[in-house]
Amino acid sequence: MGFLTLDHIHYSYPGQGSTVKDVTWQIEEGEFHCLLGKSGCGKTTLLKLAAGLLKPDKGKVYWQGVEVFKPSSQVGYVFQSPTLLEWKTVFDNVLLPISLKRKPNSKELDYGETLLELMGIISQKDKYPTELSGGQQSRVAIARSLIQSPSMLFLDEPFAAVDAITREELQDDLLKLCQLRKTTVIFITHDITEAVYLSDHVAIMSGGQIVQDYNVNLPKERSFEMRYDSYFNELCLKIRQSFSGVSS
Amino acid sequence: MKKVEYYSMLLMLLMLIGWELIARPMSELVLPSPGVVFIELWKGVSSGYFLPHILRTITEIVLGLSIGCTMGFILGVLMGEIDFLRRLIFPYVIASQAVPKLALAPLFILWFGFGMTSKVVITALICFFPLLENTLTAIQYTDPNKKDLFYILGATRLQTLIHLKIPAGLPAILAGFRVSVILAVVGAVVGEFIGGSEGLGALIIASQGMMDTPLMFSVLILLTIMGMLLYLGVNLIEGLFLKTYMKGRNK
Ligand SMILES: Nc1ncnc2c1ncn2[C@@H]1O[C@H](COP(=O)(O)OP(=O)(O)O)[C@@H](O)[C@H]1O
Ligand SMILES: [Mg+2]
């Protein structure tokens, strides 16, 4: 049994047809999975099911062999919208997961600053979310998901609002951080190159199902040049083609 | 900005001149001229005649407002949190909304006497509903993503209420408070109309009985000033609480 296992999951919102249909998905410890698909195909719903935020109508979710009934506090989750608390400063937002339980200690305060630095928003530390751009807000949300050093990360299009150059930097930082801590990641994106660059496995979702799962055979240590490598581009092309095959 | 304020002052001057021109040929009993009213106002203020009445009305407003808003807030939070309670009470809340509450004033005077209690009860009842409704709505419709976030973070129900639902609903709750403050003045004054010998409302009725129109006008001016000060106070409170919510938005 894997680290996180989805076993024949079904889900439909009240009064609607099935949004997620019979998804079986196995994720091993330390793996980086991308979930790729057009908008509305059910990616967010599947991620919420995997995290335990939604309960499947049929099928089960297992976390290290134990059935999941509610979200574990060992996970980090980044919602599709930044979901920051407008009445708290950027720094207090990042520390929220800890301050809900107790007063953060000096080590945690330091780590919060390190994360803000990594995300390139340390100068915004004492500002309020409404004073930040969309991309900066997303980065606050990512820092918040990382503050407790979770063993599993769920990221729902975290870089969607970030400009292309910053995004490449953030991708490298995220990869480094996850490799250092052996974090298991599910990352939703609609960008094929982003998916291939980041992940070990790319799952293609369409119409509520995972229709294909590609292995990415690139060295763990990613570098800028790989984006122009022939294997990289062939894989992107293959994925792109499988998409048009699926949708027609 | 400066220019608008200048014109605003000019408009006031024009209105005063208009008032004077219209009032000059009329009897003081129907429309006293501004000069007469201001002399009356000054006499009342400097001799201390108005002071107990002003204090009385303000006390009623403050007491009624605090009691009504506190109860409205607490019941709103409870109803927003406890589904059973909401479904149990909500039909009655709607029904009692439909009752014109000022029409209940004579009944309260019957029950609580001519003293201050009846006016405080009327004021509190009127202030209660805007706060109840806005708090209930705010608590019920917290952003589902934020609720999911607190769920993932393992927050307890009380933590979610205190650290998420109430602060997130604060703008809506304060909007309800603004309505309550305006209604509080109406409640206290109407209560005083119906029974009582003290307070600015009672003074208006008394001046009507004595056919002292200049006195009535000076009391109306006092009430207007009081209302404006209260409104200013609400703005200050809002500014204090909502500072961070608004940052960057009103630039
Ligand atoms: N809270 C909800 N209530 C009802 N329907 C929803 C809700 N969230 C999503 N849906 C529907 O489920 C489908 C899949 O949505 P979603 O999982 O958000 O897709 P994606 O993340 O791939 O864009 C969409 O058709 C959407 O309309
Ligand atoms: Mg989505």
Residue A209 DSSP class = E
**A223 belongs to a structural domain:** yes
Q: What CATH number does the domain containing A229 carry?
A: 3.40.50.300
- Ligand 1 centroid – CA B151 distance (Å): 20
CATH node for B32-246:
1.10.3720.10
Q: How many residues does chain A have?
A: 248
Q: Does any domain span residue A93?
A: no
Q: Does residue A118 lie in a domain region?
A: no
Residue closest by Cα to atom 20 of ligand 1 = A40
Distance between CA atoms of residues A134 and B127, nearest Å: 39
pLDDT digit string, tens, across residues A50-105? 999 999 999 999 998 889 888 888 899 999 998 999 999 999 999 999 999 999 99
3-state SS of A58-101? Answer: EEEEEECCEECCCCCCCEEEECCCCCCCCCCCHHHHHHHHHHCC
Residues of chain B with Cβ-Cβ distance to A51 below 8 Å are 152
**Boundaries of domain holding A12:** 1-73+191-248
CA of A20 to the centre of ligand 1 (A): 10
Helix (H) or strand (E) holding B128: helix B116-140
- What are the tens digits of pLDDT across the range B101-139? 888 888 888 999 888 999 999 999 999 999 999 999 999
Cβ–Cβ contact A96 with B under 8 A: yes
Which chain A residues are within 8 Å of B163, Cβ to Cβ?
100
The reported pLDDT for the residue numbered B240 is 85
Residue B143 contacts by C-beta under 8 Å, 6 or more apart in sequence?
Answer: A83, B168
Query: What pLDDT score was predicted for residue B245?
Result: 77
Average pLDDT across chain A, whole number: 91
Which one of the ligands is nearest to B145 CA? 1
Q: How many separate domains does chain A show? A: 1
Residue B251 confidence (pLDDT) above 80 = no
Are B154 and A71 in contact (CB < 8 Å)? yes
Residue whose CA is at the smallest distance from ligand 1 atom 9? A45
The band of A248, judged by pLDDT with boundaries at 50, 70 and 90, is very low
Contact between B249 and A97 using a beta-carbon 8 Å cutoff = no
A84 domain residue, yes or no? no
Interface contact flag, B153 A85, Cβ < 8 Å: no
Q: How far is CA B84 from the centre of its chain?
A: 31
**What pLDDT does residue B250 have?**
45
The beta-carbon neighbor of B247 closest among A96, A100, A131 is A131
The C-alpha angle with vertex B236 and arms to B177 and B50, in degrees rounded to 5, equals 80
Q: Which residue has the higher pLDDT, B155 or B96?
A: B155
Question: Would you say B221 and B212 are in contact if contact means Cβ atoms under 8 Å apart?
Answer: no
Percent of chain B with pLDDT over 90: 65
Q: How far is CA B118 from the centre of its chain?
A: 17
Tell me, what's the ipTM? 0.91
Q: Is residue A146 part of a domain?
A: no
Rounded to whole angstroms, the Cα distance separating A162 from A139 reads 8
Burial B49-82 (b: 16+ CB within 10 A, else e): ebeebbebbbebbebbbebbbebbbebbbebbbe
**In A, residues 35-64, which contact B (CB 8 Å cutoff)?**
48, 51, 53
B28 pLDDT band, cuts 50/70/90, is confident
Residue A196 lies in a domain: yes
Has residue A1 got a pLDDT over 70?
A: no
Residue B248: per-residue pLDDT: 52
Measured between CB atoms, does A97 come within 8 Å of chain B? yes
Give residue B189's pLDDT.
92
Q: How many CB pairs under 8 A join A and B?
A: 61
Report pLDDT digits (tens) over A148-183. Answer: 999 999 999 999 888 888 898 889 889 988 888 899
What mean pLDDT do residues B155-178 have?
94
